Structure formats: structure tokens, C-alpha cells
Structure 1
């Protein structure tokens, strides 16, 4: 089992959280299965950027990004060098620390 520590986020987990998940689970699945309702407007099909997370620790343990994820991340709000789409980032044996960005480009949610 791998531990994912989620830094505090005003909407999704104000106190922060720590979850234990099996290796091979996507970060998105791990959060949702543990009661953290991370946005995933495309239902985890790698077609949007609403599940964008910043991996503060353990980034190198995640598999390499495919071109589709790289292209989509260019549109994510608050992009950083250690950004990933949570639906595509598969948990390995290394514990992770992630940050959920303050905003996303989910226009439906933001009422644009």
C-alpha cells in the first residue's frame, strides 16, 4: 500500500488528508474512493484538465506521461513542472504528497 498525503484545499479537503491506496491505482481513483471529490469532468478519460494535481513529493515514481496528457496539461490552470492529470498518474510504491490547485478550467462548475 502507498500513502498519498493531500495538502489542505479549501473546497476538497480543508484539513488536508492522508489515504492509503494499492499500487496501480490512479491518483484520481484513490482520492474519489476515499471521499475526496476531486473534479474529473471527462470521467477519467484524459480529455480535460479538471483533475490536475501538483505532485510535491514522489513525482519521479509516477510513470512517464503520454503525449495526450502532456498536450492537455498545457491548458491547465496553475501548471507547474511537477503537474500531472490525476486520472493518468498511477501510484507506485513511493508515497506521494499532492496539492490540488485552487482553480480548474471547469467552466460548468465556475458558471461561465
Structure 2
């Protein structure tokens, strides 16, 4: 099983973490299944950017990005060339290192 290394994030994963996940799982599902409560305001249907992650290692091993994800990512805070929506990025057989950006745009929560 591949390992996802999550870099420290002050709110979601202060100490960082490493989790074993079955291939075929989305990064978002893997984090949630391992008590890392990443935001996912649209319930993982590619309708927001709250689950945006930056894949620091293993990016090429993920499922191919579809047009809908590309369009949504344009709205993400801190977008980088190796950004993905974690609800759409499906883990293959390679280990990953991911970073959860410091900020997220969640229109449902903003005042």
C-alpha cells in the first residue's frame, strides 16, 4: 500500500503524519479516513476548492486531471503547478508527499 506523507499544517495536522492507503483511494478520502479533517465543502464532487492540496512528491503517479478539476483549481488560493483537488486525485502505487495550503476559500464559511 502506498504511503501519503502529510506535511505539518497548523490546523489540520500540526505534527504532520504518514498514512497507508489502498490504491484507488482519493487523497481526500485517505486524509479523512485517517482523522485529518481537511475541508471538503462540496462533499467531494469537484464543485469547490476547499480540499486543494499541493503534491510535493509523487504528482505524476496520480490519476489524470480532468477539465472540471482544472477549471476549479483556477480559483484555489496558493495555486501551484503541482496543485490538485484532493477529492479528484486518485492514489496509484507510488508514495506521495502532500501539503495542505495555509488558506482555503470556503464561501459557505466566510462572513
Q: Common fold, TM-score beyond 0.5?
A: yes
Deviation at 1:108, TM superposition (A): 3.2
Unpaired runs of 5+ residues, structure 2, are: none
TM norm structure 1: 0.97
- Which residue of structure 2 lines up, in the alignment, with residue 15 of structure 1? 15
TM-score normalised to structure 2 length: 0.98
In the alignment, structure 1 residue 55 sits paired with structure 2 residue 44: no
| Residue of structure 2 in register with 1:78 after alignment | 78
Asked if 1:25 corresponds to 2:4, the answer is no
Equivalent residue, structure 2, for 1:105: 105
Match of 1:92, SS?
coil
How many Å separate the matches in 1 of 2:32 and 2:91? 14
Give the gaps of 5 or more residues in structure 1. none
**How large is the RMSD of aligned CA atoms in angstroms?**
0.7
Please give the alpha-carbon distance, in whole angstroms, between the structure 1 residues aligned to 2:93 and 2:26.
13
Q: Please state whether the residue corresponding to 2:108 is helix, strand or coil.
A: helix
Q: Counterpart of 2:6?
A: 6
Tell me the alpha carbon deviations over residues 47-83 of structure 1, each in whole angstroms, 9 at most, x when there is no partner: 0000000000000001210000000000000000000
Q: Which runs of 4+ in 1 moved over 3 A?
A: none
